[in-house]
Amino acid sequence: MKNILVLCTGNSCRSQMAHGYLNHFLDNKIAKVYSAGIETHGLNPGALAIMKEDGLNIDHHTSNHVDEYATVDFDYIVTVCDHANENCPYIPSKNALRLHHNFFDPSKVVGTDEEKHAAFLKAREEIKIYFRDFVEECF
């Protein structure tokens, strides 16, 4: 079984959505998915809501610090924001393929409820497409 780490700054939004989609696309059978941050910010309610709109419940996820997984040997480490990519601590996985994609951060959008919803929808769709393609290419 492969181990995948999705890493973001606060493990509250983009990495949580990616974690949810990876579990969905992989059906929890051929890989174990972890998500973490270089900080922990708790789960973002907007991320929880936008995933539920697509039929995925990530309410049971937790916001974890990357140091919690220091002993896990990852096959893939995917950073989903530039800040995490630039500030990621050393992760001692011997053969991990490291990938990076800077996804739009919907949590930074200030505006009406409709504008915030549109921002989360945009980020969710970008993440969904990227990780669906990742699974098709790598598994």
Catalytic residue among 6, 7, 8, 26: 8
Catalytic residue among 56, 72, 88, 99: 88
Rg of the chain, C-alpha, whole Å = 14
Q: Tell me, yes or no, if 88 is annotated catalytic.
A: yes
Contact present, 106 and 13 (Cβ < 8 Å): yes
Annotate the chain with DSSP letters as a single string.
-EEEEEEESSSSSHHHHHHHHHHHHHTTTSEEEEEEESS-----HHHHHHHHHTT---TT----BGGGGTT---SEEEE-SHHHHHHPPP---TTPEEEE-----GGG--S-HHHHHHHHHHHHHHHHHHHHHHHHHH-
Exactly one of 26, 50, 81, 127 is catalytic; which is it? 81
Q: Is 8 among the catalytic positions? A: yes
Which sequence positions are flagged as catalytic?
8, 81, 88
